[in-house]
């Protein structure tokens, strides 16, 4: 693999604008090379016999020896003529206006051969090279300052954690008595603990000594990391032991309880954080939160270290390529500058990484090095061959079953059967539920493949755990193909539409097949055992619960993304409602029901269609209150207009009449226009008039711009198809109305699949523009009286 491709593949995608632009610099070198080739071809024509003779005579000069260079370097650096120098690199200090002590340096290269023919090409190259290096250096300095500030925050959190450990476990009484008994000279101040408190079970005397020794071991490095030596005020040093002062617990509040609807309602009336209860459960929750924060912090350090290494390697590669093209020796001077700069000479990230690893191993892994490093190292996902095997098996079975169903319909002439209408009205909606689910999963697996293909960081956006727990596109296709096999086999067994004329009943077992199938699917989905991708199933269940409880949970991207998916599955929810009515109140043995005659069924028929859109309205309200962005208000109004259109359409179905038809048509038209505009302009970020790419956006991940225009046109057409569904359908001679509704619902799922790709692409581009590569981890300890500020 060429270095350019390898360089791009190892980038932190959200930081790609901060990396050295290797491809552009290589393009500038290509211009230099083309000029030199052109110049060399002209000079070869004008070459005289005298110059040719001079080159031939050089073959007969005395040999200077292989060790002459080494001998010249014996007493210092090699002798170098001024005429051999190509560039001079110097540092330019720019004093900050806000703080005279904080200066930001940049580097400038002087090209000494600009007067030569073609030197202007090389001058442009070095100017761009300086700009790229200063950009990389500025970004790296800023990120190092950020992690240093975060390291200070985590150090304070660790001080509070150790103080909480001492307060909860009470090891100081035994430690004090044991230490006084050994030398008789240590006089430790009385800890702030109850006088009758003893060491709890499971916590030994040696555990306390080990924890104090670990605190003592890191004192010097901690003080180096913390400005102003303020950490001494929080420590109690006695004869080599370093103990944190327990008074720090008097000035903090704690927040370790997970967000629940009850806690959200309480915070509406009580905004302060909870007090410390000094319980064992509280300590465990605090330790878990701080451990997660350290793991996330270690990942930042790894990314920064890789950023530094890759850019240094890129500058080395581009300079060696320059030397090779121009036959000069400029790389040594420039790379010496890179090595001596803050980018190549700073070891703060390395020291912070070592300190974080030591903290994780000692404080959160009980001194087990392998266990601690297992927490910090990302788990690589193993591709399993059995997933590919079963995917191929189920796909082949699906194709065979579809062929068998088509043959069975034609062989029995079922399209002209008297029971065709009853089958389409009752049985078809039961199985169409699984068709919608399978189709949605197939399109989502295609989304995952395309996100990976175009390097959209979807695991970070969705908050998936790194490693083997997240599902890829093969896993989604496997689940979809397995479900399709079960559904198609059930459909094939259900195609016998003949009734027993003596009893006028159908086969009971056959009629119960759809109910058994949906029961199996629900049991697998809610199965608590570690089978069939439990972590992914529970992730969807958690997000679904957050949607149902909106706005009592903080709205995250997975929550409103799932709610948007549910708005495209209205027909699936209505099919599930029909299951309850048909098997609960209908006579399934005779394939008859009176659901449409029930007023309660009609009311829930409207509610089921409205609930997903109402969830989005509540989520927009919650985000508006938290973020204060009025765009969430307009987004909520958009979903509210969709609710109004659905209600008008349902009333028109029940009452008919010209008035209700006009209301349904008008509301559907407004909803279609507003939703289409929001999809393309807001969610996808397209149709920007001042963009570098006309009528698109500045940053595009798909190189073919026609794809974006085609997606815009397809989205508009599919929105219009949805409007036709909202208005009315007339049954055609070759398609039943239920089949037409299923086709339109499938087209809506297709539109959602297209929307998914461009929506996440736009989110990824926004993250890249803001260099947002990490999610913030909430810390457990807060300042007293300020619940929004960490220690």
CB of 125 closer than 8 Å to CB of 32: yes
For residues 292, 297, 303, 308, the Cα torsion angle rounded to the nearest 10 degrees is -170
What average pLDDT score do residues 330-357 get?
90
What average pLDDT score do residues 149-157 get?
90
Cα(471)–Cα(641) distance, integer angstroms: 35
Cα(303)–Cα(225) distance, integer angstroms: 20
DSSP 8-state class, residue 101: T
pLDDT-derived band at 180 (thresholds 50, 70, 90) equals: low
What average pLDDT score do residues 494-501 get?
76
Tell me: pLDDT of 520 over 90.
Answer: yes
- State both tokens at 396: 């082949």
More confident residue, 689 or 172: 689
Q: What is the pLDDT of residue 226?
A: 46
User: Per-residue pLDDT tens for 498-515?
Assistant: 777 676 677 788 889 999
Share of the chain above pLDDT 90, in %: 37
CB of 676 closer than 8 Å to CB of 754: no
What average pLDDT score do residues 28-53 get?
68
Share of the chain above pLDDT 70, in %: 77
User: Per-residue pLDDT tens for 569-581?
Assistant: 999 999 999 999 9
Tell me: pLDDT of 545 over 50.
Answer: yes
The upper half-sphere exposure of residue 594, i.e. CA atoms within 13 Å in the direction of its Cβ, equals: 4
Distance of CA 633 to the CA centre of its chain: 26
By C-alpha distance, which of 522, 448, 516, 514 is closest to 478? Answer: 448
Q: What is the CA radius of gyration of the chain?
A: 35
H or E segment to which residue 416 belongs: none
- State both tokens at 57: 């005579």
Tell me: pLDDT of 394 over 90.
Answer: yes
Tell me: pLDDT of 404 over 70.
Answer: yes
User: Prior bond to 551 cis, omega within 30?
Assistant: yes
User: Per-residue pLDDT tens for 640-649?
Assistant: 999 998 888 8
**Secondary structure class of 185 (helix, strand, coil):** coil
More confident residue, 153 or 216: 153
DSSP 8-state class, residue 698: S
The highest-confidence range among 111-120, 125-134, 265-274, 597-606, by mean pLDDT, is 125-134
DSSP 208-233: HHHHHHHHHHTHHHHHHHSGGGGGGG
Q: What is the pLDDT of residue 189?
A: 39
Q: What is the pLDDT of residue 51?
A: 46
Q: What is the pLDDT of residue 469?
A: 52
Q: Which residues pair with 95 in a beta bridge?
A: 103
Q: Which residues pair with 253 in a beta bridge?
A: 782
Weakest mean pLDDT among 373-382, 583-592, 736-745: 373-382
Please classify residue 697 by burial: count the beta carbons closer than 10 Å to its beta carbon, then call 0-12 exposed, 13-18 middle and 19+ buried.
Answer: middle
Q: What is the pLDDT of residue 19?
A: 93
Cα(90)–Cα(130) distance, integer angstroms: 11
Tell me: pLDDT of 212 over 50.
Answer: no
pLDDT-derived band at 231 (thresholds 50, 70, 90) equals: very low
State whether the Cα torsion 4-9-11-16 is positive or negative: positive
Q: Which residues pair with 93 in a beta bridge?
A: 105
Q: What is the pLDDT of residue 718?
A: 92
Q: What is the pLDDT of residue 328?
A: 85
- State both tokens at 308: 């530094």
Q: Which residues, other chains included, contact 545 with Cβ-Cβ below 8 Å and sequence gap of 6+?
A: none
Report the mean per-residue pLDDT for the chain: 80
Q: What is the pLDDT of residue 783?
A: 65
β-pairing verdict for 781-783 and 103-111: unpaired
What average pLDDT score do residues 66-77 get?
44
Q: What is the pLDDT of residue 395?
A: 95
DSSP 8-state class, residue 465: P
Tell me: pLDDT of 152 over 50.
Answer: yes
What average pLDDT score do residues 444-466 get?
89
**Secondary structure class of 154 (helix, strand, coil):** helix
Provide the b/e sequence for 158-170 (b: ≥16 CB within 10 Å): bbbbbbbbbbbbb
Tell me: pLDDT of 682 over 90.
Answer: yes
Q: What is the pLDDT of residue 273?
A: 57
Measured CA to CA in angstroms, residue 144 lies from 18, 20, 762 at distances of 14, 18, 28
Weakest mean pLDDT among 38-47, 117-126, 287-296, 691-700: 38-47
Maximal C-alpha separation, the chain: 117
Q: What is the pLDDT of residue 243?
A: 63
Phi, psi of 274 (to 5 degrees): -75, 155
Q: What is the pLDDT of residue 791?
A: 53
User: Per-residue pLDDT tens for 308-320?
Assistant: 999 999 999 999 9
- State both tokens at 68: 């002459």
What average pLDDT score do residues 109-133 get?
85
């Amino acid at each position: 693999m060429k270095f350019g491709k390898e360089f791009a593949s190892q980038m932190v995608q959200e930081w790609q604008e901060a990396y050295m632009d290797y491809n552009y610099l290589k393009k500038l070198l290509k211009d230099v090379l083309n000029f030199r080739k052109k110049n060399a071809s002209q000079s070869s024509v004008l070459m005289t016999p005298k110059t040719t003779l001079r080159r031939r005579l050089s073959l007969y000069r005395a040999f200077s020896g292989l060790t002459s260079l080494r001998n010249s370097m014996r007493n210092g650096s090699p002798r170098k003529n001024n005429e051999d120098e190509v560039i001079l690199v110097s540092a330019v200090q720019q004093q900050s206006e806000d703080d005279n002590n904080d200066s930001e340096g940049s580097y400038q290269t002087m090209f000494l051969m600009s007067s030569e023919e073609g030197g202007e090409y090389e001058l442009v190259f070095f100017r761009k090279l300086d700009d790229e290096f200063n950009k990389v250096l500025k970004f790296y300095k800023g990120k190092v300052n950020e992690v240093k500030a975060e390291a200070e925050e985590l150090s304070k959190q660790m001080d509070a954690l150790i103080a909480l450990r001492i307060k909860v476990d009470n090891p100081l009484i035994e430690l004090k008595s044991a230490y006084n008994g050994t030398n008789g000279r240590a006089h430790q101040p009385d800890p702030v603990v109850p006088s009758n408190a003893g060491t709890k079970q499971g916590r030994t005397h040696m555990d306390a000594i080990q924890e104090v020794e670990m605190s003592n071991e890191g004192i010097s490095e901690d003080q180096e990391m913390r400005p102003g030596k303020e950490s001494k005020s929080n420590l109690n040093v006695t004869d080599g032991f370093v103990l944190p002062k327990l008074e720090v617990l008097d000035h903090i509040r704690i927040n370790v309880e997970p967000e629940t609807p009850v806690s959200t309602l309480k915070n509406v009336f009580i905004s302060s954080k909870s007090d410390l209860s000094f319980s064992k459960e509280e300590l465990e929750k605090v330790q878990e939160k701080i451990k997660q924060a350290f793991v996330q912090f270690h990942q930042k350090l790894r990314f920064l270290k890789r950023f530094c290494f890759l850019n240094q390697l890129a500058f080395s590669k581009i300079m060696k390529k320059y030397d090779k093209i121009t036959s000069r020796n400029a790389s040594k001077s420039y790379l010496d500058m890179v090595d001596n700069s803050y980018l190549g000479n700073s070891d703060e990230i390395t020291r912070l990484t070592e300190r974080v690893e030591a903290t994780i191993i000692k404080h959160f892994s009980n001194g087990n090095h392998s266990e601690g490093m297992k927490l910090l190292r990302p788990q690589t996902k193993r591709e399993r061959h059995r997933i590919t095997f079963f995917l191929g098996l189920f796909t082949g079975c699906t194709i065979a079953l579809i062929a068998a169903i088509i043959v069975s319909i034609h062989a029995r002439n079922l399209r002209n059967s008297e029971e065709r209408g009853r089958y389409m009205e009752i049985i078809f909606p039961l199985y169409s539920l699984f068709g919608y689910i399978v189709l949605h999963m197939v399109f989502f697996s295609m989304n995952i493949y395309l996100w990976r293909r175009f390097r959209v960081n979807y695991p970070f956006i969705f908050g998936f755990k790194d490693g083997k727990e997240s599902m890829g596109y093969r896993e989604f296709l496997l689940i979809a193909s397995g479900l399709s096999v079960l559904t198609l086999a059930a459909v094939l067994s259900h195609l016998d539409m003949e009734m027993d004329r003596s009893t006028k009943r159908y086969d009971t077992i056959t009629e119960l097949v759809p109910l058994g199938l949906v029961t199996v699917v629900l049991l697998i989905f809610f199965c608590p055992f570690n089978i069939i991708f439990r972590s992914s199933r529970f992730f969807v269940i958690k997000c679904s619960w957050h949607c149902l409880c909106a706005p009592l949970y903080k709205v995250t991207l997975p929550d409103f993304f799932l709610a948007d998916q549910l708005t495209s599955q209205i027909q699936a929810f209505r099919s599930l409602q029909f299951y309850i009515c048909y098997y609960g109140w209908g006579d399934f043995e005779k394939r008859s029901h009176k659901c449409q005659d029930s007023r309660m069924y009609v009311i829930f028929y409207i509610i089921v269609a409205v609930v997903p859109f109402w969830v989005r309205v509540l989520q927009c309200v919650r985000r508006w209150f938290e973020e204060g962005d009025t765009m969430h208000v307009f987004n909520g109004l958009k979903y509210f207009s969709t609710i109004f259109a659905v209600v008008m359409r349902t009333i028109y179905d029940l009452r008919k009449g010209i008035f209700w038809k006009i209301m349904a048509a008008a509301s559907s038209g407004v909803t279609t226009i507003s939703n289409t505009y929001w999809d393309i302009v807001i969610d996808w970020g397209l149709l920007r008039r001042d963009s570098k790419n006309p009528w698109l956006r500045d940053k595009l991940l798909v190189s073919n711009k026609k794809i974006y225009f085609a997606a815009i046109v397809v989205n508009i057409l599919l929105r219009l198809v949805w409007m036709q569904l909202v208005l009315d359908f007339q049954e055609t001679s070759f398609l039943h109305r239920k089949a037409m509704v299923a086709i339109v619902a499938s087209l809506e799922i297709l539109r959602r699949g297209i929307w998914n790709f461009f929506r996440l692409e736009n989110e990824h581009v926004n993250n890249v523009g803001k260099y947002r590569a990490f999610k913030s981890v909430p810390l457990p300890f807060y300042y007293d009286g300020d619940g929004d500020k960490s220690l």
